[in-house]
Structure 1
Amino acid sequence: MKITCLRNYNSPAVSYKVGQSIDLDDTRAKFLLVNASKSFEIDLTAMSTETQTGLVAPDRRGRGGRKR
């Protein structure tokens, strides 16, 4: 899962800067989204697909739905 850092985040193990896009496994990403919710958000650009018309449509999995 890709998440984006909204605020500087520091912990004893790791630190992230504003605007940094991070690719983490689902468990770590969910941990950061829950415990530091104001510092991270899901990177929805990583969950988009290009349609036949060339438009980019977001994948519903970003909102908790399933891909068909």
Structure 2
Amino acid sequence: MNYIYSTQGNAVGFIRGRYIHDMRGNAVGQLSGTHVHKLSGNWVGELDGDMVVDKHMELRKHWPSR
């Protein structure tokens, strides 16, 4: 199980499938790639490692060298 941590280092939730749950097991959000949304559909942030951050992550592409 993948846990989500606060900036203080405390586990505040976990990921099961494409849903994020609080520590009581209630679904509170969902993942779409690295994008995190509340179940209402509102954007929350981006999944960066084991934290949800309030920023848009840039798509990292490795371009082939010529």
TM-score (structure 2 length as normaliser): 0.27
- Specify which structure has the bigger relative contact order, considering alpha-carbon pairs within 8 angstroms and separated by 6 or more residues: 1
TM-score, normalising length: structure 1: 0.26
**When you count helix as a share of all residues, which structure comes out higher?**
1
